[in-house]
């Protein structure tokens, strides 16, 4: 068999694989939206530290916000965490069904 035919036989199965283009490698983190920190007396103040860490690039912190049962869906806190600090579109990440840690591995 000729070398070109072998290359084609090896490359064709790779073309059919579905690659996750949303996942980014370490060091490729988009800019975050500014968090809206709560006043110390507000019930949401317990999430201030997580919002700051999420803003600084901790995807585990972003996930900890939206995955918390005390945070209601479609509130600022939920959306901030679910969009990885405003780094991704809410509909897109919901449709993909991935966490922030999965969307941005290594962060």
Q: What is the DSSP string of the chain?
A: --HHHHHHHHHHHHHTSPP-TT---TT--PPPPPP-PPPTTSGGGGGHHHHHHHHTT-HHHHHHHHT-TTSPTTSHHHHHHHTTTTTS-HHHHHHHT--HHHHSTT-
Say yes or no to pLDDT of 13 above 90.
Answer: no
- Per-residue pLDDT, 5: 45
Say yes or no to pLDDT of 11 above 70.
Answer: no
The average pLDDT across 43-71 equals: 98
Q: pLDDT band at residue 16, thresholds of 50, 70 and 90?
A: very low
pLDDT: which is higher, 61 or 3:
61
The average pLDDT across 76-100 equals: 97
């Amino acid at each position: 068999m000729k070398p070109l035919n072998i290359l084609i036989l090896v490359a064709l199965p790779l073309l059919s694989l579905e690659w996750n283009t949303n996942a980014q490698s370490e060091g490729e983190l988009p800019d975050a939206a500014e968090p809206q920190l709560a006043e110390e007396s507000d019930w949401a103040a317990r999430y201030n530290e997580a919002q700051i860490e999420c803003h600084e690039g901790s995807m585990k912190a972003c996930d900890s916000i939206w995955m918390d049962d005390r945070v209601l869906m479609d509130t600022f806190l939920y959306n901030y965490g679910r969009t990885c600090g405003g780094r991704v579109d809410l509909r897109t990440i919901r449709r993909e069904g991935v966490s922030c840690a999965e969307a941005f591995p290594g962060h």
